[in-house]
């Protein structure tokens, strides 16, 4: 079954005032529109446009009252589709494993923490691995701990730029990283909140007038402009920093410390809102819990290389079963059998969807929900179309 769907953008402070309206083809209203959620998460409503006879007006209610028609054999929609538009950096954060999510959810329930309490970490009992795909060149993100030898080089570079006292602080930070490793160094920064170290790193970055580590120095300055003196700035100096080109992607598993910095992207994740924050935010920060869920192992930038399938779809392979992400590029015509529930979103141009004698056209910024079935759909994309399924 094919249903057009829509949702109301979420207006978080870090959102762009123009990117989402431009994508959706509507006039900006001046608010920072940050995310558009498509799915059945309880913290957002996805509306069904022109529901069929007897069908509720929201995807959330349809799944709750008629799960077999909406989901087939499943009992919940396991993924959430988002469009993310960041004008300022998001919080420095990580997501729990499935086991820790269930433990944390039960613990907070036992303590009687209201689900909507600002200091609650676990709003549900699910993990939240996620994939982010850039919709334009220049999507910036922090993603996992950089190789130690590279962070040592960055800190040595910044120490050489700093005045005497700040240089000593940065050298001490560097020596600590070299001598004891990432985990003790991160624990010390987050628990002792060394404001003087942050000022030293930012001041040294301001003195950088070469192309050596230029992107990282500019990042620290940008973070300090948004979150002056925040302890997360020192942690950011230890992380992979990447600028994605259009259609490049990152996969962020449980425990990966990350922060989207700027840009417009498609984000698909397990259907959870469990976020543990450690800085760069005005929201609740829970350092002990963040330290509990973090994976401190250095990692390369977690790129996901898209692969063109024999059926014409471009697929982003991820090592989880909660979601599968495909892209149909301009000029692509593909058959799609909806063995599982799917969200289809036209990010550029329009997409024509045909099933038998039924023909639907999704314009740029429009989306549809397709319930499981055995009758194939034909997708003809005049722009870029993303399909998320499980």
Query: In the chain, count of helices (H) and strands (E)?
Result: 11, 21
Which residue in this structure is represented by tokens 């449980």? 254
Give the span between the Cα atoms of 239 and 142, in whole angstroms.
Answer: 6
Tokens standing for residue 370: 């397709």
Q: What is the CA radius of gyration of the chain?
A: 22
Question: Which of 336, 342, 326 has its CA nearest to residue 384?
Answer: 326
Please, where are the H alpha helices in 227-286? 232-236
Distances (CA, A) of 135 to 13, 129, 202, 289, 313: 21, 20, 30, 32, 17
Catalytic annotation present for 146 = no
Choose, from 120, 174, 277, 327, the residue flagged as catalytic: 277
Q: Can you give the three-state secondary structure of 56-103, one letter per residue?
A: CCEHHHHHHHCHHHHHCCCCCCCEEEEEEEECCCCCEEECCCHHHHHH
Give the span between the Cα atoms of 245 and 44, in whole angstroms.
Answer: 29
Give the SS3 label for residue 165: helix
Q: How far apart are the first and last CA of the chain?
A: 16
Give the span between the Cα atoms of 13 and 144, in whole angstroms.
Answer: 24
> Which residues are known to be catalytic?
277
């Amino acid at each position: 079954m094919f249903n057009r769907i829509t949702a109301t953008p979420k207006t978080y402070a870090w959102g762009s005032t123009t990117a989402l309206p431009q994508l959706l083809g509507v006039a900006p209203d001046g608010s920072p529109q940050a995310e558009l959620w498509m799915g059945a998460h309880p913290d957002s409503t996805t509306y069904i446009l022109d529901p069929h006879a007897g069908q509720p007006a929201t995807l959330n209610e349809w799944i709750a009252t008629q799960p077999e028609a909406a989901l087939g054999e499943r009992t919940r929609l396991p993924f959430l589709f988002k469009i993310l538009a960041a004008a300022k950096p998001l919080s420095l954060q990580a997501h729990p494993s499935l086991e820790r999510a269930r433990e944390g959810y039960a613990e907070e329930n036992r303590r009687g923490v209201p689900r909507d309490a600002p200091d609650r970490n676990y709003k549900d009992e699910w993990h939240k691995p996620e994939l982010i795909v850039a919709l334009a060149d220049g999507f910036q993100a922090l993603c996992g701990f950089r190789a130690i030898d590279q962070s040592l080089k960055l800190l040595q570079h910044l120490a050489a730029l700093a005045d005497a006292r700040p240089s000593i602080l940065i050298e001490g930070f560097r020596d600590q990283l070299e001598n004891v490793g990432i985990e003790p160094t991160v624990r010390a920064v987050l628990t002792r909140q060394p404001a003087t170290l942050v000022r030293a790193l930012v001041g040294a970055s301001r003195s950088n007038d070469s192309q050596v580590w230029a992107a990282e120095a500019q990042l620290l300055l940008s973070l300090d402009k948004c979150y002056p003196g925040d302890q997360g700035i020192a942690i950011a100096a230890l992380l992979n920093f990447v600028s994605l080109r259009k259609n490049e992607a990152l996969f962020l598993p449980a425990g990966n410390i990350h922060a989207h910095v700027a840009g417009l992207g498609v984000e698909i994740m397990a259907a959870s809102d469990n976020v543990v924050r450690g800085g760069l935010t005005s929201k609740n920060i829970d350092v002990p819990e963040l330290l509990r869920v973090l994976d401190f192992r250095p990692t390369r930038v977690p790129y996901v290389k898209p692969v063109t399938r024999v059926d014409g779809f471009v697929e982003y392979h991820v090592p989880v079963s909660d979601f599968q992400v495909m892209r149909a590029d301009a000029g692509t015509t593909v058959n799609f059998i909806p063995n599982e529930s799917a969200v289809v979103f036209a990010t550029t141009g329009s997409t024509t969807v045909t099933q038998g004698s039924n023909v639907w056209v999704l314009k740029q910024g429009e989306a549809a929900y397709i319930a499981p079935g055995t009758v194939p759909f034909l997708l003809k994309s005049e722009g870029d179309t993303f399909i998320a399924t499980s």
